[in-house]
Amino acid sequence: MDSPTLTVRLLRLADAEQVAMLLNDAFADEFAAAGRPPMAVLRGVRQDAWALRAPFRRVIAPLTGDFAVFVASVDGQLAGTTTISGGPVPVISSVAVAPPYRRLGVARALLAQAERYAALHGRDIVTLDVLAHNVPAITLYEREGYHVAHPYTVLETVTAAAGMPAGWRLSRVRDRDAPAFGAVARLSLPAEALALVPSLRDRYLGGPPVWVERLMAGVATYRRVLQHDGSVRGYVSGRISRGQQQARITYPLLPPDAGVALPGTLGDAVRWLTAAGAACVRVDVSAQRPDQVGALEAAGWQVRWHFLQMRKVLRRGILVAGRGER
Ligand SMILES: CC(C)(COP(=O)(O)OP(=O)(O)OC[C@H]1O[C@@H](n2cnc3c(N)ncnc32)[C@H](O)[C@@H]1OP(=O)(O)O)[C@@H](O)C(=O)NCCC(=O)NCCS
């Protein structure tokens, strides 16, 4: 019997329904937890397919960042998909293979194509997030040269009970708050996490203006600086995308000695994000900050998932291995 023919190419509009079905099957639990209905997933895939068409790409890329979605076919049948973001540390996400096509090397081929895309854009490192209990995926990634760089915990809440303790104040981030950022971030997060999320700074300082994000990318963004006795003690940002019910706060940048203000700070973020349309809010907290996990659990947040952030250093010569896709 002939061995199956495996091909990988960029997503097209005609693939959208099959890709959405594949994603809805593969990530049913996560989408349900995030309140992401199947129709929203389909809409997202269609938007990606439009954005990947050459004329749109040039217009949209400066606002949303460059990215690619690849699909794999086995003997002409759509079998798997993955997405990779642009940016200094590209993130590979949504790796999914339909059950009848598993263990044929489809995911391996998709990863290889995503890595070539990163290399073509001059990157030498890629990263991805995987649930800590997803043994098949972790085995795949380890076999393909990925290593765990930074574990983190996701907590969720639907209400914002906590208030701010006396003497602590949140305000909009201004240019004059910039000098404190590096020191506060280093005291708040392990170096591995900071290295893998270089865009964290842009969420507070720089990056597109909030109104541009809202208008063009449909994202509502909360950004605040935390102050005590006139000095900067922390930063927090969260966002909710159009069509999603769950908002996300990534790594609250509060050092341990500002911990007393963590529940109140996130309470303010939850109130803002709820008013912007979120039905539920998740926060990602470094596994090296058990103090933050404990404080949030005490304030009514619930631990939902444990994730591993994995990274791979791309070897030289990766571009020779295949044609790649810009
Ligand atoms: C994880 C997943 C993407 C793997 O896809 P796949 O196409 O079957 O993987 P491949 O055939 O390319 O496997 C490559 C290697 O990964 C490892 N691997 C893949 N699936 C595995 C499993 N179920 N158990 C153990 N190892 C596994 C093996 O080492 C395999 O090599 P081998 O078959 O020669 O032993 C697929 O099972 C899937 O879609 N799962 C649901 C969605 C998901 O969890 N995605 C990951 C999100 S982070």
Domain count, the chain: 2
- Give yes or no for residue 68 CB within 6 A of ligand 1: no
- Give yes or no for residue 133 CB within 6 A of ligand 1: no
**Residue-wise pLDDT tens digits, 77-94:** 999 999 999 888 999 999
Question: Best substitution site from 103, 104, 110 to test ligand 1's pocket, by max atoms within 8 Å of Cβ?
Answer: 103
Evaluate whether residue 136 is within a structural domain.
Answer: no
Alpha carbon separation from 81 to 19, 96, 109, 110, 112 (Å, rounded) = 7, 6, 10, 7, 12
Clarify whether residues 160 and 255 are in a common domain. Answer: yes
Residue 161 in 3-state DSSP? coil
Helix H or strand E encompassing 10? strand 6-10
| Dist CA 314 CA 297 (whole Å) | 38
**Residue-wise pLDDT tens digits, 98-135:** 999 999 999 999 999 999 999 999 999 999 999 999 99
pLDDT at 47 over 70: yes
Evaluate whether residue 137 is within a structural domain.
Answer: no
Q: How far is the CA of 10 from the centre of ligand 1 (A)?
A: 21
User: Parallel, antiparallel, or unpaired for β 147-157 and 302-313?
Assistant: antiparallel
Clarify whether residues 22 and 93 are in a common domain. Answer: yes
User: Do 80 and 71 contact (CB within 8 A), yes or no?
Assistant: yes
Mind giving me the DSSP string for 87-133?
A: SSS-EEEEEEE-GGGTTSSHHHHHHHHHHHHHHHTT--EEEEEEETT
CB contact set of 134 (below 8 Å; sequence gap of 6+):
none
- Give yes or no for residue 137 CB within 6 A of ligand 1: yes
Q: How far is the CA of 140 from the centre of ligand 1 (A)?
A: 5
Clarify whether residues 186 and 303 are in a common domain. Answer: yes
Which of 77, 103, 123 is where one domain is finished?
123
Evaluate whether residue 320 is within a structural domain.
Answer: no
User: Parallel, antiparallel, or unpaired for β 246-250 and 280-286?
Assistant: parallel
Atom 27 of ligand 1, nearest CA residue: 136
pLDDT at 151 over 70: yes
Atom 26 of ligand 1, nearest CA residue: 136
- Give yes or no for residue 162 CB within 6 A of ligand 1: no
Question: Best substitution site from 130, 140, 311 to test ligand 1's pocket, by max atoms within 8 Å of Cβ?
Answer: 140
Clarify whether residues 59 and 116 are in a common domain. Answer: yes
Clarify whether residues 14 and 59 are in a common domain. Answer: yes
pLDDT at 196 over 90: no
Which of 101, 123, 145 is where one domain is finished?
123
CATH number at residue 97: 3.40.630.30
Clarify whether residues 16 and 72 are in a common domain. Answer: yes
**Residue-wise pLDDT tens digits, 261-272:** 999 999 999 999
* Closest atom, ligand 1, to C-alpha of 108: 12
* Closest atom, ligand 1, to C-alpha of 109: 12
**Residue-wise pLDDT tens digits, 220-263:** 899 999 999 989 999 999 999 877 889 999 999 999 999 999 99
Which of 123, 142, 173 is where one domain is finished?
123
User: Do 238 and 276 contact (CB within 8 A), yes or no?
Assistant: no
* Tokens read off for 198: 């270089």
pLDDT at 324: 41
pLDDT at 323: 45
Clarify whether residues 80 and 176 are in a common domain. Answer: no
pLDDT at 317: 63
Angle (CA) 181 118 310, round 5°: 60
Evaluate whether residue 316 is within a structural domain.
Answer: no
pLDDT at 63: 60
Helix H or strand E encompassing 284? strand 280-286
Atom 1 of ligand 1, nearest CA residue: 137
Clarify whether residues 180 and 264 are in a common domain. Answer: yes
Q: How far is the CA of 137 from the centre of ligand 1 (A)?
A: 5
- Side-chain-side CA neighbours of residue 250 (13 Å): 15
Average pLDDT of 199-206? Answer: 78
User: Do 143 and 280 contact (CB within 8 A), yes or no?
Assistant: no
Evaluate whether residue 160 is within a structural domain.
Answer: yes
Clarify whether residues 103 and 22 are in a common domain. Answer: yes
Q: Look up the domain containing 31 and give its range.
A: 6-123
CB contact set of 204 (below 8 Å; sequence gap of 6+):
173, 177, 181, 223, 225, 235, 237
User: Do 22 and 98 contact (CB within 8 A), yes or no?
Assistant: yes
pTM of the predicted protein model: 0.90
**Residue-wise pLDDT tens digits, 23-43:** 999 999 989 888 888 998 999
* Tokens read off for 188: 């708040």
